[in-house]
Amino acid sequence: MQQYRKRRWFAIAATAAAFTVFAGAAPAAAMMGSQDSSNEAAVVSELTRLTPETTPGSDKPTSETGTSRLSDVGASCTEPDENGRGSCIEYKAPDTIPALPSGESNPQLAAVAPPQWCEDAQGVVYATRTQACRIDSVYYETYVVRNGTRTTTGEANLLLINYSYGSTSESRIAHQLDVTAFSGWGDALKASYNGNARVGYACTKESGSFSAKPIQPLNQWHTGEAFFDSTATATGAVGECGTGWNLTFTNPGYTSTTYVVPVFRQFRCDNNTAGRPVPGCVVPWYASAVYYSRAAYPDLASHVSRAQASGLPGATFEAPLTRTTDPAVNGDNREKACGDAPSVSGKSCDEYPVASSYQGLSAGGTRRTFDGCQFPGIPAGQGPTGVSVCMITATENSSQGGLHTGLYRSERVLDKDPFRVVVTP
């Protein structure tokens, strides 16, 4: 059972450039099956709380590249009321952000503390296989229109932290939103805000709570927390879950305005992972690693480290391998790489990239090898395409399959998911 913990906050200083909005973001209209019918404030039981999974080994969080899974972010202003008063909310990058306050001074915060690496997620999503985080800033303005002239009567700059986490062995994910105002003046500081969690794609909202909180005092953190259940729970099912928040600002004498916090469509849940009898949820674009120990597998580690040094992919987040579950592709990779391997007592043919990846010879390219690999007639080579072949100790080669099966199972690595191969001491 996850216990409530005091928040441990970090300090950051960011420039405006750190808050660039994702290009090519998915439109907000893509959020299907919205659950936004009311501002419910369900109390979340201790029994429903997830425990965030930590990233094992020497893995580290990384930012997403390519197409974003966040909704568009923009400005929204209400029409002035009969007294000419209105308000606006807008994604806006401030010049600087002060140090974040310590959670020890905020006893009302009773949620999971985001990990320290979350401080790097300024304007971008950072994630591990089971956690995702993004930091954004918004600008709230009050105004009045008199005789056709619009005058700003107050401003507030707020920081928003989206932190979402799941589990490889549960079909529930959490998404908490942490909000604070760090500067402002005038009538804007008289406002309060409350949150309503929303959901789309292949999941439903289990519960959500973000009661009304005042903007003042500044640098006071407030937390909303929601839990979502995947609908991809039947055998063989796979589905993405999109979660977000609507943050509504109310202010005496002004019209209310709502900021649609960018949708997190970071998690994929499935009940389609071989060897896993229960569904679970992961961040599919995060490339988890399988580790080849030099101490335990000296021949295997030697070959793979040389192959990667020659330019073949798989060692980094920037150039990972992608898994194939297609037996035809797997078999084609093996046959083209090792079909004519020499007979060497106690050894068998190892190919890299591995046959269970789409980077094998079924994708094209040629073979290469190294001195001592006992593959006559195969030249050395360089570059990111093709495969390296080497005769290595047969027991180590057999163990390699088990290492990959363990990774694919524990991290729910499905077809076309990225993964890394890391050689360790």
Task: Output the six-digit token pair for 171.
Answer: 């079909």
What pLDDT score was predicted for residue 30?
Answer: 23
For residue 118, name the pLDDT band (cuts at 50, 70, 90): confident
Residue predicted with more confidence, 311 or 38: 311
> Residue 399: is its pLDDT beyond 50?
yes
Which of 28-32, 195-199, 250-254, 328-332 has the lowest average pLDDT? 28-32
> Residue 36: is its pLDDT beyond 50?
no
Mean pLDDT, residues 254-281: 94
What pLDDT score was predicted for residue 54?
Answer: 61
What pLDDT score was predicted for residue 211?
Answer: 94
In one-letter notation, the amino acid at residue 211 is S
The predicted-structure confidence for 57-71, as pLDDT tens digits, reads as follows: 446 676 665 444 434
What pLDDT score was predicted for residue 232?
Answer: 97
Q: What pTM does this model have?
A: 0.82
> Residue 95: is its pLDDT beyond 60?
no
What pLDDT score was predicted for residue 15?
Answer: 24
> Residue 99: is its pLDDT beyond 70?
no
Q: What are phi and psi of 405, to 5 degrees?
A: -60, -40
In one-letter notation, the amino acid at residue 157 is N
What pLDDT score was predicted for residue 108?
Answer: 47
Task: Output the six-digit token pair for 93.
Answer: 């990058």
DSSP string of 227-294? EEEES--STT-EEEEEEEEEEEEEETTEEEEEEEPPPEEEEEEES--TT-SS-EEE-TTS-EEEEEET
Mean pLDDT, residues 181-209: 95
Q: Are 412 and 273 in contact (CB under 8 A)?
A: yes
What pLDDT score was predicted for residue 96?
Answer: 57
> Residue 31: is its pLDDT beyond 90?
no
For residue 150, name the pLDDT band (cuts at 50, 70, 90): very high
Mean pLDDT, residues 382-393: 97
Count of C-beta atoms within a 10 Å radius of residue 48: 15
Q: Are 242 and 201 in contact (CB under 8 A)?
A: yes
For residue 272, name the pLDDT band (cuts at 50, 70, 90): very high
Average pLDDT, the chain: 83
The predicted-structure confidence for 207-241, as pLDDT tens digits, reads as follows: 999 999 999 999 988 999 999 999 999 999 999 99
The predicted-structure confidence for 40-63, as pLDDT tens digits, reads as follows: 222 222 223 466 676 544 466 766
